[in-house]
Amino acid sequence: MNTNYWPVDSNVDNIEGYPRIAEAAQYIRDNQIVAFPTETVYGLGANAHSDEAVAQIFKAKGRPADNPLIVHIAEYQQLEKLVAGISKQAKLLIDAFWPGPLTLIFPKSPGVLSDLVTAGLDTVAIRMPSHPVALALIRASGLPIAAPSANRSGKPSPTTALHVQQDLNGKIAGIVDGGATGVGLESTVLDCTGEVPVILRPGGITKEELESVVSDKIEIASNLLEKTDAPRAPGMKYKHYSPSAPLYLVDGEVDWIQSLINEKRKQGLKVGVLASSETKQKYQADLILNVGSRKQLDQVAHQLYYTLREFDQSHVDFIYSEVFPQLGVGVAIMNRLEKAAGHHWLIQDKQD
């Protein structure tokens, strides 16, 4: 398959009528799949009404069919057609955070969306992105667009069009290049179908920000890597975000982490370190990448996937990653790192 490439400046006049947007939208209407930028990561979009179109997403990504997709909309009127009800909490959150990096789970309207989108569940995950190119594509297509991240399943999510090309060139109809994404991590997924809203996937909107809007306390799912047969949101069941080399999370002093690095290098392995700007200069390894400052976790979130993909380009054999405070967006950062590492931790015995 020939993959079209459409560079689009988000600042162009009349972006919804821009010829490249119109061409990409036609592919969506023709039940082809197209990658496009959002404010979080690049998404791989398809007509959410069509089994034929949505099936191509799973094929291109190598994604398990029981992993539900997020539906992207551009108008509030679209939401009313797709869901069976909107709770009071959901209305408050929509007013506060849409358009933006918040996905809400609703009871779905029967017979409207492809069952492949919802993996057979009676609920649907929906968000309204804030990226002007994403909104223009949705409006130009006239359709709700089902869109997981535009990467091979299990790999780090793409934050540039180049990342999409590396993973999916020749497997999809086209890529709309709107430049690098902003947040760098996927949206927060919040289940609003119960009495108490529950975060199923932490993301760019934090628990504290959500609780500032709704009077009810927001809960976090007790196990974000559930082994259930029917995960209620993307990213809950399978290993994700992983570079090619084994990755371990290391919680300890720099000298102790350096001893681990030295041991691997003695075995002839090329070792990479994912470090903060505060500690980057203190390590000796084959590749040391600075993911940002511990004092600016938004910066770490923005750089995380880009950094994980850099390790793949360098062909390291083993990666050690520092850990970060689980405060605010740090919860989402550590959620992604834990999944990238397959929950493999090394923790220093402080009595040593």
Residue 122 CA to residue 116 CA, distance in Å, equals: 12
On whether 127 is known to bind a ligand per the annotation, the reply is yes
Q: Is 201 annotated as a binding residue?
A: yes
Q: Is 149 annotated as a binding residue?
A: yes
Say whether 67 counts as a known binding-site residue.
yes
**Does the annotation flag 123 for ligand binding?**
yes
Residue 241 annotated in ligand binding:
yes
**Number of other CB atoms surrounding residue 33 within 10 Å:** 27
Please compute, for residue 342, the number of CA atoms within 13 A of its CA located in the half-sphere on the CB side: 10
> Could you write out the DSSP letters of every residue in 218-284?
PEE-S-TT---SS-SSTTSSS--S--SS-EEEEES-HHHHHHHHHHHHHTT--EEEEE-TTTGGG--
Q: For residue 187, say whether it is annotated as part of any ligand binding site.
A: yes
| Beta pairing partners, 322 | 250
E strands within the chain? Answer: 4-7, 34-37, 42-47, 70-72, 102-107, 123-127, 145-146, 174-177, 188-191, 198-201, 219-220, 247-251, 271-275, 287-290, 318-322, 345-347
Query: Annotated binding site for ATP, which residues?
Result: 63, 67, 123, 149, 157, 201, 241
Binding residues for L-threonine: 40, 72, 127, 147, 187
Numbered residues of the known binding site: 40, 63, 67, 72, 123, 127, 147, 149, 157, 187, 201, 241
